[in-house]
Structure 1
């Protein structure tokens, strides 16, 4: 990591620029305070599954805990119990919380704090699957064979009690908690199946912003094995939910069309230019799985591959299946059902799955919302992406302020005729660099030519 020269006020100007809400309307807070005191939230018709030794696994310090998991071996393979926070128990259709959550769409994460989807009394309190607390949940039971393939799934409402809050930083992937001791095996099997399905997953490391004293700092964090395995459980559940909704011909899917031939031809050309051996008959997924993420040409190819993931959206349907029901990046139909505290769509998709699994009609409030959800979620996704980029751009500018004229080592990620997208080795800044025919996938020296902190822009040229 590298220290920054951050301006006074942190991200307040950015929050104002994007008109991010500072708090919830009093009516929303009042409804939240009332509902968390309502005993009927726990007294509804729910199975008592509080004896299940579920655990949560999240980034250190997380309070909005959506999921708790238990993985058991069975005679035929594995059984996954996956409890998801049941926000529908707290959110009255058409009420203040419902209306405000539809306006927000999802929780926004900024370095100096979140803009939550729901009031913290819910998202970090009564709805969160905190350890030792009885909580209403949507409980998935997923049966897998010995190869990790899904055999069948069911979902119902339950009361659960997480036994422990685990985090990625302190959990040992070799000696995991007994409730997730089988996670490495299941996660590995599911990742192997993902490659066979054709799932496209560029292994680009996450750029992070953290605090160091009074400064904001940039860092790089590669995805750990534990995070990758845990993500497979969420993906598995999302695929099971999508299949339920497709079979019932009602639902909300996350979709992405298959890439066209022209895009694939372009990607093959990019691979050849980088010196990547792409054997005939090898899928994009298989090729990505075999690359070394530490090599600069791999980073450049990962960046090129993100072009295949453009165009993802949300598709709702009721009575007739849409033309596209799959997500090409996952290689299967998929739905968001596992993060209702942080994402609007999950509350509605989970409600549909509960009804379908029980053979009951989908509640009118969930059915009526379907038409508007794709637009609401797409708008919130766009805002979240813009806010995340603005935060990174701001810290990059703070980091490089006063260093104009210095030379840095960089990797060329994507080259055009007169400029390229580069990533510095230290600090991990991603920016545009001027220069003709810059060698994609190669390390070069670049010179910082300008920094504009107010506009959050930095410029480079080849040294």
Structure 2
């Protein structure tokens, strides 16, 4: 794979110019750091229930230090029991204090190829709050019992002391499951994960299997673009998080207080447009087949599938957050998931999860939701939507920058590409090697087709690459 060498005058070896462009903070103030240091006390002093006997394990990308979730899955009769421990930021962050105020300004952790911009000081996010193996930690512990179909029948959540026993990554777990040597706490993951995926399709969940670009390398190796691998374990692990988020949403709706992640249903015109796109791509779509069922049956390796996945992103526009206290909002559903859903499983990296967790803890214990949480709910939707927008723009800028760096010396070269989406004068294309997305000039380019394109221009400063059909 072609690489752009770090240290070149064009790139200055890193992404400092993007940090400056987006005005990203490069540190925490002294009062925030001081409070974070003081908050990292032994959780046994403040948390009563001891669940350290649970053999929890974490599954994260290699080298991750900000570990939000640990799990233990087991059979329960002909069903399952999920023990899901979530990092408990509520025991460390004082409402209205310096860490809380700074977290509200940031909204979430931003990830750049040369280092992240964390939501919380690393002494918490990578230390005292992180569910690191062998360490006793305070956690928001979810216990979810499911029947033989994978449907939840009982949910309980409370604060507890936990201790993760192992830290795994996706590829290690995938290999262990295939070899029959997986840790006992996750041997049920394939069966439960498949059941939950089947339920997702029946709910109408929309999953797009588009290749996800990622920036690799750095330091002396240079920067390169590749794909972020997604194996079965990644998908099954995500289902456990989604299960918990849906359980949290149900709890909040029943209590008529909380904050949900929402997405409106696609309108009839959008569905009709997608059907016309499928027909143009030669994809058969029976009348009785839902969008979810259609997408689940496509082969992601085929170019027409990638083109239809890209078209389907139109159905997923308009995601946001909805808070309420008392009267329920007109819509509580996330159309992409096919059910009500709330963010509760990543509080180290995302602000809203801490507040949603406090709502669920109170509801599960039949207590009043703390007033400081109620007071924050109306402001969370705008704060998180603004933060999500910034995170998306930063991620896109980093990828666009590496694309421009990599392609700057290849103007005039030809590449094989797939047409993802097209209008009369140009198209959005995916170059397959190296993995680059760009615009291609050309009239009436056929969506879903493989074509040869020529790189006509690269603007490193504006992070733009342009192609034409060869």
The TM-score, its normalising length taken from structure 1, stands at: 0.98
Which residue does the alignment assign to 1:77?
Answer: 79
Could you list the per-position Cα deviations for residues 249-307 of structure 1 after superposition, in whole angstroms to 9, with x for gaps in the alignment? Answer: 00000000100000000000000000001011100000000000000000000001111
Shift of 1:10: 1.2
Shift of 1:222: 4.1
Which residue does the alignment assign to 1:14?
Answer: 18
Which residue does the alignment assign to 1:437?
Answer: 444
Shift of 1:168: 1.1
Matches within 5 A, 1:241-252: 241-252=248-259
Which residue does the alignment assign to 2:463?
Answer: 456
Shift of 1:46: 2.6
2:399 to 386, 392, 399: 392
CA distance in 2, matches of 1:404, 1:217: 17
Q: Does structure 1 residue 56 correspond to structure 2 residue 58?
A: yes
CA contact (8 A) 2:416 2:432 kept: yes
Is the partner of 1:402 in helix, strand or coil?
Answer: helix
CA contact (8 A) 1:5 1:401 kept: no
CA contact (8 A) 2:68 2:347 kept: yes
CA distance in 2, matches of 1:79, 1:403: 54
CA contact (8 A) 2:455 2:468 kept: yes
Shift of 1:2: 2.6
Which residue does the alignment assign to 1:191?
Answer: 197
CA contact (8 A) 2:225 2:434 kept: yes
Matches within 5 A, 1:14-413: 14-36=18-40, 38-39=41-42, 41-171=43-173, 172=175, 173-174=177-178, 175=180, 176-211=182-217, 213-413=220-420
Number of corresponding residues: 461
CA contact (8 A) 2:47 2:161 kept: no
Could you list the per-position Cα deviations for residues 324-349 of structure 1 after superposition, in whole angstroms to 9, with x for gaps in the alignment? Answer: 10000000000000000000000000
RMSD, matched Cα: 1.0
Shift of 1:45: 4.3
Shift of 1:319: 0.3
CA distance in 1, matches of 2:60, 2:409: 37
Could you list the per-position Cα deviations for residues 106-141 of structure 1 after superposition, in whole angstroms to 9, with x for gaps in the alignment? Answer: 000100000000000000000000000000000000
CA contact (8 A) 1:135 1:161 kept: yes
CA distance in 2, matches of 1:307, 1:97: 37
CA contact (8 A) 1:204 1:222 kept: no
Is the partner of 2:409 in helix, strand or coil?
Answer: coil
Unaligned 5+ runs, structure 2: none
CA contact (8 A) 2:137 2:163 kept: yes
CA distance in 2, matches of 1:65, 1:434: 44
Which residue does the alignment assign to 1:3?
Answer: 3
CA contact (8 A) 1:4 1:215 kept: yes
Could you list the per-position Cα deviations for residues 207-257 of structure 1 after superposition, in whole angstroms to 9, with x for gaps in the alignment? Answer: 111106431010023421000000000000000000000000000000001
CA distance in 2, matches of 1:5, 1:166: 31
CA contact (8 A) 1:59 1:168 kept: yes
Is the partner of 2:410 in helix, strand or coil?
Answer: coil
CA distance in 2, matches of 1:14, 1:279: 47
CA contact (8 A) 1:243 1:333 kept: yes
CA contact (8 A) 1:131 1:163 kept: yes
Deviant stretches of 4+, over 3 Å: none
Unaligned 5+ runs, structure 1: none
CA contact (8 A) 1:48 1:160 kept: yes
CA contact (8 A) 1:256 1:328 kept: yes
Shift of 1:5: 4.5
Could you list the per-position Cα deviations for residues 71-126 of structure 1 after superposition, in whole angstroms to 9, with x for gaps in the alignment? Answer: 01011400000000000100000000000000000000100000000000000000
CA distance in 1, matches of 2:320, 2:26: 28
